C-alpha cells in the first residue's frame, strides 16, 4: 500500500472483512498483511487474519496467529474458541477441548458451552 494513512488501513480492514464473508481468504490476507505490518499490535486485524488462515485451511498459520493473540489477551474467549476449532480441524481433540473449556469459562455462550462438553469424559 503506497498510502499508509489510518483511513486507508480502516478501508483495507473493512474490505478484508467483506472478502472473508465472501469466502475469499486469500484476498483478505493480501489486504491484512500490510495492515499488520504497519500495526503489529492490532488484535482485531490479527483475529481477522487468523480467521482468513483458518478459512483458507492454513491451520498451522491460524494456530500461530491465535496463540499470539492469546499471549497478549489470555482472556479473549473468541480467540480460545477459534484456536480450539483450528486444533479440532487438525485432529488434535484433547488440545482443542482445553481451549473450548477456557472459552466457555470466560464467556458462557451456548455454542462455547456446547463445545466444552462439561461433565463428559473425553
pLDDT in tens, 34-53: 999 988 999 999 999 999 99
- The pLDDT tens digits of the residues spanning 54-92 come to 999 999 999 999 999 999 999 999 999 999 999 999 999
pLDDT digits (tens, 9 = 90+) for 109-119: 999 999 998 87
Q: Residue 121: its pLDDT value, please?
A: 59
Backbone angles phi, psi at 40, to 5 degrees: -65, -20
CA quadruple 20, 56, 95, 122: dihedral positive or negative? positive
85 closest CA partner among 120, 118, 50, 109: 50
State the pTM of this model: 0.86
Three cell numbers written together for 109: 455462550
Amino acid at each position: 500500500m503506497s498510502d499508509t494513512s489510518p483511513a486507508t488501513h480502516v478501508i483495507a480492514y473493512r474490505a478484508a472483512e467483506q472478502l472473508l464473508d465472501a469466502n475469499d481468504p486469500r484476498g483478505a490476507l493480501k489486504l491484512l498483511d500490510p495492515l499488520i505490518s504497519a500495526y503489529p499490535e492490532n488484535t482485531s486485524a490479527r483475529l481477522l487474519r487468523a480467521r482468513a488462515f483458518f478459512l483458507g485451511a492454513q491451520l498451522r498459520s491460524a494456530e500461530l496467529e491465535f496463540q499470539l493473540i492469546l499471549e497478549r489477551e489470555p482472556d479473549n474467549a473468541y480467540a480460545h474458541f477459534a484456536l480450539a476449532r483450528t486444533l479440532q480441524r487438525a485432529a488434535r481433540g484433547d488440545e482443542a477441548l482445553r481451549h473450548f473449556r477456557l472459552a466457555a469459562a470466560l464467556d458462557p455462550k451456548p455454542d462455547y458451552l456446547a463445545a466444552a462438553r462439561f461433565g463428559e469424559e473425553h
